[in-house]
Amino acid sequence: MKSLDDLKGLIRSIPDFPKPGILFRDITTLIGHGDGFADAVAHLEQRVQQVDGEAIAGIEARGFIFGAAVAAGLRLPFLQIRKPGKLPVPVLAIDYALEYGTDTLEIDPGSVPSAGKVVLIDDLIATGGTATAATELLVRAGATIDHALFVIDLPDLGGAERLRAKGLSVDALMGFPGH
């Protein structure tokens, strides 16, 4: 299995996307590498097993790529946390602040198991706004969630600390210091 350093080497960094000053950490080159993608998923699976995860929640869209693969690999249920207007049933929704404006996430409350630990998976945690909102949504939908897992952490943006302050344990395969 590829080392975490090898996997980190498969992340492409694009300056000034989507706007000046942002260094975009792009998973395209990781998931475009067959062994790299499979081994990233295998590392995530190990960590889900270490915390006895019993269901996986993924955040649309890039959280679906990793979360769904992990869920299928471990034969666990996969819960979709979606952008607004996509689910065909009554939803629970949460609005959260972005740097400019707000965004919304939705979940089908009927998709949430009444028992068992849910592990949240996304590709990257930056400020933690998205993951914090997703966690809050899961809790409102009745989930037991105390662990969040990411491929990439940008530690200097404080998101992981923000989630930890809410009582979650937070784990990532790799970190990129700096902004």
Of the pair 67, 128, the CB lying nearest ligand AMP is at: 128
Q: Is 159 in the site for ligand AMP (CB under 6 A)?
A: yes
Residue 172: count of CB within 10 angstroms of its CB:
22
Of the pair 31, 126, the CB lying nearest ligand AMP is at: 126
Of the pair 74, 170, the CB lying nearest ligand AMP is at: 170
Stretch that binds ligand AMP, among 16-24, 86-94, 139-147, 164-172 (CB under 6 A): 16-24
Minimum CB–partner distance for residue 117 and ligand AMP (Å): 22
Binding mask 50-79 for ligand AMP (x = CB under 6 A): ------------x-----------------
Residue 93 tokens read as: 């929704």
For residue 42, whether the previous peptide bond is cis, meaning omega lies within 30 degrees of 0, is no
Angular region, 106: left φ>0, alpha ψ -120 to 50, beta rest: beta
Of the pair 116, 155, the CB lying nearest ligand AMP is at: 155
Rounded to the nearest 5°, which phi and psi values hold at 81?
Answer: -105, 115
Closest CA to 172 of 24, 27, 16: 27
Stretch that binds ligand AMP, among 17-25, 44-52, 87-95, 166-174 (CB under 6 A): 17-25
Minimum CB–partner distance for residue 23 and ligand AMP (Å): 6
Q: Is 134 in the site for ligand AMP (CB under 6 A)?
A: no
CB 98 within 8 A of CB 132: no
Of the pair 26, 54, the CB lying nearest ligand AMP is at: 26
113-132 positions binding ligand AMP, by CB under 6 A: 122-131
Report how many residues bind ligand AMP under the rule CB under 6 A.
17
List contacts with ligand AMP (CB under 6 A). Answer: 22-25, 62, 122-131, 154, 159
